[in-house]
Amino acid sequence: MLGNFTYCNPTKLYFGKDALDGLNEELPKYGKNVLLVYGGGSIKKNGIYDKVVAILKANGKNIYEDGGVMPNPTSDKLNEGIERAKNAKADLILAVGGGSVCDYAKAVSVSVHCNDDAWGKYFIRFEDVTCDIIPVGCVLTMVGTGSEMNGGSVITNHAQKLKIGHVFGENVFPKFSILNPEYTYTLPKYQMVSGIYDIMSHILEQYFSGTDDNTSDYIMEGLLRSLINSANVAVKNPTDYEARSNIMWIATWALNTLVAKGKTTDWEVHMLGQAVGAHTDATHGMTLAAVSMPYYRYIMPYGLKKFARYAVNVWGVNPDGKTDEQVAEQGLAAMESWMKSIGLVMNITELGATEDMIDGITESTLIMDGGYKVLDKSEIRSIYKKSL
């Protein structure tokens, strides 16, 4: 049964081949100084940087740059970004890149006017934002995180071996996001596939919770079927516009907070994957893929009805003459086979984890309580060992 909730998503989206034109609509709403945030430089090679800069200049903006945002943005980089934004007296932070760049931009936006240590305040103590916020806009070049339409920000602290996300309120959501599927074409296959699984994991983290007949579950089953179909097409033909646009749109809906309404949500797969990432700096979506099957096979008995439903409604398993357990296991087997077929990493060894790292990774893992089973540290350690 749906409980009480409030829903608001203030992000304005511009979607399609001409989406970048939306910048001309948005930029006049903000002051002169723009901090342009981006990653390792791929946007300069593919021409997106030049297009964005031209629009910024045409709108009379002063451009200050903050490049070099890494795939798993660090607390050290966050501190650097805070200083850059302060020096620029930024009126707007424009993030051009994937989810990590968007995450980083939001972390900077809430930290520039913060009188406390940002890492401790937001990512250790999970405190609310009490200072002024610099507005953020996003031009998306990689899909997966949904960061373009939510308040999430994940930061890694290498010294503390922690990778932690803070979900900020709607006042931190990007004010606008530009989504052109063609901007994702030049992404290497490894990164594309990683993003696809990140999308799937976001949906499953919300789907595998609760036992009621929730409208969100029906929506998520449709999103999953579309994702699987479009992923199969995109892996064979990365420039198929229909497939890439579907994947981009699914990524946004997977984590723009809509389908979470009325759900407790799990997120333990993300805690497991992020702990691996904190120790290995591996690609986020691949860390999720590497731990998913051992985790889901372990918790399946505790949410058996939902796993059986997943098998039938998403993977097309025929339930006739089978027990719920048999149906559920066939669904997970179908999922595992598909994951392998699109090129996902299926173990943490391939990501750089070793058996002697398991205790440390286990200690870095946060325990969530919204799924079908609240794990203890011994169960987490066992899942990691099965993920090797």
**Does 126 share its domain with 195?**
no
* 76 and 203 both lie in a single domain: no
pTM as predicted: 0.95
Domain match, 127 and 245 both: no
In a domain, 3, yes or no: no
Instruction: Say yes or no: 143 and 234 in one domain.
Output: no
DSSP one-letter string for 44-63: HHSSHHHHHHHHHHHTTPEE
Which of the listed residues 151, 183, 215 is the one where a domain comes to its end? 183
Contact between 108 and 132 under an 8 Å Cβ cutoff? The reply is no
Please check whether residue 6 lies inside any domain of the structure.
Answer: no
- Asked if residues 254 and 205 have their Cβ atoms less than 8 Å apart, the reply is no
- Least Cα distance to 287 among 231, 336, 340, 352 occurs for 352
Task: Kindly state whether residues 220 and 304 are assigned to the same domain.
Answer: yes
**Ranges of H-type helices in the chain:** 22-26, 42-45, 48-58, 75-88, 99-111, 118, 189-207, 215-236, 241-254, 268-280, 284-299, 304-313, 324-342, 358-363, 377-387
Domain range for 318 is 189-387
Of the residues 117, 148, 183, the one at which a domain ends: 183
Q: Are both 164 and 234 inside the same structural domain?
A: no
Instruction: State the CATH number of the domain containing residue 369.
Output: 1.20.1090.10
**pLDDT tens digits, the chain, 388 residues: what are they?**
677 888 999 999 999 999 999 999 999 999 999 999 999 889 999 999 999 999 999 999 999 999 999 999 999 999 999 999 999 999 999 999 999 999 999 999 999 999 999 999 999 999 999 999 999 999 999 999 999 999 999 999 999 999 999 999 999 999 999 999 999 998 999 999 999 999 999 999 999 999 999 999 999 999 999 999 999 999 999 999 999 999 999 999 999 999 999 999 999 999 999 999 999 999 999 999 999 999 999 999 999 999 999 999 999 999 999 999 999 999 999 999 999 999 999 999 999 999 999 999 999 999 999 999 999 999 999 999 999 9
- Which of 123, 153, 183 terminates a domain? The answer is 183
